[in-house]
Structure 1
Amino acid sequence: MATRRWLTVLACVLVVVGPVMFFVNAEAVVNGHAVECDGSLMRPGQWCTSFSGGGSVSYDEEKRNEARGERVGYAGAGLGALGGVLLISQGIAARRRSR
């Protein structure tokens, strides 16, 4: 009985955390392999200067950041789907137990 509650809590957490991870990184997922600086396309050798953050980022660094964001976004989608599957399976198991 305690295992079922633990799985239900885990599933609910995954259903919440997964989509949040996806939507926080949605721009990187939708962008594909494009590297942008404040909405402008960057090319190799260019630098992105942020006046609000006070720093500069090279094309290669920004490309790595975009790739990391894309991976985190897809991982979030997977975690959300896993949580949904766990919730559905818990519901099916509960119906079978009540018969």
Structure 2
Amino acid sequence: MDFLENLAVKDSDEKVAFYKELCANLDTLPRCFGVHKILPALKQVVEFGSATGAKNGPVKLDPSASHMLPAMVQIGSSLSAEEFKAEVLPIIIKLFSCND
């Protein structure tokens, strides 16, 4: 739990290892844990990574951010269409708007 809460400040290698392990084990975790704990932590990583960029300028993210996409989509698949649009889609759009 502590690792998850501090995910945004972990180094790239730790994040990549976490994302790979997460995707492999996400089906074994309760849906509410994925939606209410993991998804907000992943969103925080993107927000933390984009905080240094200009408000409407290009986003610069840690290279490990691309490895979180499968987990976000997997968690998002358990949401309603409206929840997905509100919670997951803006982060995916931000990831794809990154010029890195």
Task: Answer 1 or 2: which has greater strand percent.
Answer: 1
TM-score in terms of structure 1 length: 0.29
Task: Answer 1 or 2: which has greater helix percent.
Answer: 2
Tell which structure's C-alpha radius of gyration is larger: 1
TM-score in terms of structure 2 length: 0.29
